Every structure is written in C-alpha cells, then in structure tokens.
Structure 1
C-alpha cells in the first residue's frame, strides 16, 4: 500500500472535489479510478467500501467517504493554508456552513434528478425529475445572495467551500440543469473552472470513464 493518501473515485463524480482540493493544496495522493457505478461495475470495491459509493479516501488508519470532508482533509494536509478558513477568522462559521451546504442542500436534489431524468428515464419518472430540478434551482438562492458582493464565498479568497459548492454548479451544466442557474452563478463557475488546479484535477481524472 502507498505511504500517502489513496483516493478511490470515478471521473467527474463528487470525488472531483477531493481531486481538485489535492491539486490546489499540493497534497500528493494516489488516484484509483473506478468504472461507474462501482458497486455494479467493480464489485470487489465493496470489500473496501460496503456502501459502494465514491469517493473514498484511505490514509493509513483513516478512512473517509464524504466528498466535502475529504476535500477539507486534503487541503489541511497540503502546503497552501489559504484553502481552509481557521477558527480565528471571522468567516470560519460561514466556511463550515457553505462547505456542508454544498452536499446536504445543493447536490442532494441534483442526484435524485439525475436518477429520474438520466439514469432511469426509461421508467417514466420524468415528472419527478422535473420536480427535483425545480427544487435544485430554488436552493441556489443562498449562493446567489452570498456572491452578490464578493468574488468567493468566504474570507475574500478561494477556499474549499468554493470547491465544494462549485462542483454542484459544474455538475449542473453536465446534467442538463443549467436552465435555472442564475447568470451570476454561471460567471462564478467560469472563474472556478479557469483555475489551474481545477484543470489539473480534470486532467488527472480523464484516464477513467466518466460518471455522467
């Protein structure tokens, strides 16, 4: 086993948050790319992660399966402390809030939409998919208002919170959910994907089959 962190993921999945954070932070990781969905396409993976979900990070005795937590962990382990907002900073609470908001509030309706409208669209659940699309768009209001007067979400700089929330906006474009995304958030997304760290992360994951 490698000495450093090992990240199991599928290209373009929520694991991109972790790959991106590692690239931005300069954290050396070993990337293990799996076919999507791994619980069906790589059943041996279930021996490592009984949930069958990605990403999963293994770092010695540490095992993690939540993408935003992994992104934070890898940023802390890296050489760029600016990616994390610390308890002594004014925006520490906002940093935690937006980092967790990314998956719990924004990405959740996206994944349900994708199930109904993309992965299982032959089952006739299009109306349910449309309902979750509208739910996702309504839940963007907090991001939209936060970014009315700032370039990034917290502490006047790019942080893991931007990686985590930014991924949801990147996924929206890939999943056909851009119709209800405000232009201001599309502009924010453009700023994020122009970063060298993001491009390196995408390049690293390009060797694996896409999750969408």
Structure 2
C-alpha cells in the first residue's frame, strides 16, 4: 500500500470524526457524485477537476481498495458514523444483496460498506468501483463519461506512451475488466445508460465543459 494513500485515508477519517463530533447537519441537496468511465475518456480528469471546483473529496479505485484493506482488520472507517448510521449501512448492504440476488463474500460486503459510508458522509466524488449501483439516493448524481474510440485511443497513447495497437488492446482489456467487476459485484451492466443520471461525451465536450455541466446538475440549474 502507498504510504501517501494511507495518510490520505487517515486525514479523511479525522475530517469525518470532526464532522461527527460537531454534528454537522446532512445536506438534502445532491452531495455525492459517482463517475463511471470508459477507458481513455478522461473520467478521472473530470472527477479531479470537479473536486477542485466544489471542494468535494475525491475517492478513486486505489483509495477505495486501500479503505477496504484497512477495514478488514479495523472498524475505524465505519466508526466514523454514529450507531444509527452504522445500522443503516448494514441494512442497505443486506437489502441490495437480496434485491440483486448476489452472493455476498467478504470483499463485496466491505465494498458495499465503504461506498455506503462515503455516501453517508457526503461531499464526495467516487470514481469507479460500481458506486453508481451502490448509491441510488436523491443525494447522488450518477455520471458516465464516454468518448469515441479514436479519441480514447489517442488519449491512452498520449498518457501511457503506447503505440496505437497497444492502446486499443489496453482499452478493450480495461473496459472488459470494469464491466466484469460491475457484473460480478452488482449484477449490473456498466454500459447501460439507464444506470446513470447524466452521460457526457468528452469527445465533443472538453473536460472543463463537462465539469460545468455536472456542476449545473448538482445545483439544479
């Protein structure tokens, strides 16, 4: 595990604990954004820019996975919620598993609990890990970032210094793995537009413009 990511998680827990002690009221407006993305569509760049402009906390794959590993041996993350909040998390996990006929192993239970815990605290952008499936409340805006294959291939070539052929293989492999993850843990189709509130094409919208659209949706404009 990266020491910097562990430090980020420690700092996040402190912020959550501070909010819990001060009994900061939960906002009724949308305060969670989930971002699902096609490989090379600049979904992470959109998420990062959105956090910079809104002050929301950013949670991406590596951070979520580290939080899951941390929770295997400690309840510190879940204990940032009060007792009622923890009970609600358990209920949400149980109901989702039953509703979607899923077999809940240790990983899936922890994944659901971490995503739901982040959702309960609010003011966050979660990238990937099927968060749009786990968090289906009025306070969540579920976004899907897509782009034409040529644009995505060019982006992968640029950022990962790959040949065109290797970039295409990377896209196929990455998208397949993400789809398989969502299917396995949420029994859902990652590419199904009905699973999202907003689908944005960065082949026609620049990252900055996509962020502005999301912010408008957040504020109901």
Aligning the two structures, in what range does the TM-score lie when normalised by the shorter sequence? under 0.3
TM-score (norm 1): 0.27
Q: Which structure carries more relative contact order (alpha carbon 8 Å, separation 6+)?
A: 2
